[in-house]
């Protein structure tokens, strides 16, 4: 017999029978299970790659446009989106247009409102609001994001996000906008996932 079997001793002298040990049987069982698993899962993807388009590998993200008078919001949002893409997706962000896809965006509205006024007339709690339109297209101009049951005519999605600001605790408007930009970036990257 082969070398995978160990020679077992028999209870009778002079009789030599060979039988597999328990560890050899377990090894053969595991090899059969792994072989069956690999043969059955040949077309499947594993990990976070299952959430994203398999034909897309690179994304070009131009600087987001901004209709706001607040300076550098578009640049800050672009930076946050690129960091989220690199962190959470299998995609690689490239700096030049020949890419598999293009992600464009525009900040169409931003504002600040008082949620709770203080007794002396100033704000006790303030909310910062951002509204962003985003379109994700492949290099042929086809939309990659599937819309819901009601298709949007413009081909872009609108994302709205708010962040709270407590001036009495020393928080600044800049930190509230940074928090809102980070949340918008997380929603944009979440939008890139394929529907189940």
- How confident is the model at residue 3, as a pLDDT? 45
Residues 6+ apart with CB under 8 A from 24: 4, 5, 6
Q: Are 162 and 127 in contact (CB under 8 A)?
A: yes
Q: What are the chain's domains?
A: 1-44 (no CATH), 54-191 (3.30.160.150)
- How confident is the model at residue 62, as a pLDDT? 94
Reduced to 3 states (helix: H, G, I; strand: E, B; else coil), residue 151 is coil
Q: Compute the distance between CA of residue 35 and CA of residue 28 in angstroms, rounded to an integer.
A: 11
Provide the residue-wise pLDDT of the chain in tens; the chain has 196 residues.
444 444 455 455 555 556 667 777 777 777 777 766 665 555 555 566 677 888 889 999 999 999 988 889 999 999 999 999 999 999 999 988 788 999 999 999 988 888 888 788 777 788 899 999 999 988 888 887 655 555 555 567 888 888 888 877 888 888 889 999 999 999 999 888 876 6
Sign, CA dihedral 121-122-123-128, equals positive
- How confident is the model at residue 30, as a pLDDT? 78
- How confident is the model at residue 140, as a pLDDT? 84
- How confident is the model at residue 112, as a pLDDT? 85
Q: Compute the distance between CA of residue 128 and CA of residue 183 in angstroms, rounded to an integer.
A: 12
- How confident is the model at residue 6, as a pLDDT? 47
Q: Residue for token digits 């070398």?
A: 3
Looking from the CA of 39 toward its CB, the CA atoms found within 13 Å total: 6
Q: Are 80 and 184 in contact (CB under 8 A)?
A: yes
Q: What is the largest CA-CA distance in the chain?
A: 105
How big, in percent rounded to 5, are the helix, strand and coil portions of the chain? 30, 25, 40
């Amino acid at each position: 017999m082969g070398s995978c079997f160990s020679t077992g001793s028999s209870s009778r002298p002079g009789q030599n029978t060979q039988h597999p040990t328990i560890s050899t049987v377990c090894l053969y069982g595991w090899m059969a299970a792994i072989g069956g698993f690999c043969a059955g899962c040949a077309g499947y993807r594993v990990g976070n790659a299952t959430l994203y388009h398999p034909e897309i590998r690179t994304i070009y993200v131009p600087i987001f446009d901004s209709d706001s008078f607040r300076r550098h919001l578009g640049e800050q949002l672009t930076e946050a989106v690129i960091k989220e893409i690199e962190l959470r997706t299998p995609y690689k962000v490239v700096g030049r247009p020949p890419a598999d896809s293009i992600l464009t965006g525009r900040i169409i509205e931003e504002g600040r409102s008082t949620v709770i006024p203080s007794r002396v007339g100033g704000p006790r709690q303030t909310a910062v609001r951002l509204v962003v339109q985003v379109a994700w297209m492949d290099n042929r101009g086809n939309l990659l994001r599937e819309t819901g049951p009601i298709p949007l005519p413009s081909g872009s999605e609108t994302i709205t996000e708010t962040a709270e600001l407590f001036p009495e605790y020393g928080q600044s408007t800049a930190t509230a906008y940074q928090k809102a930009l980070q949340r918008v970036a997380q929603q944009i990257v979440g939008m890139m996932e394929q529907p189940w």
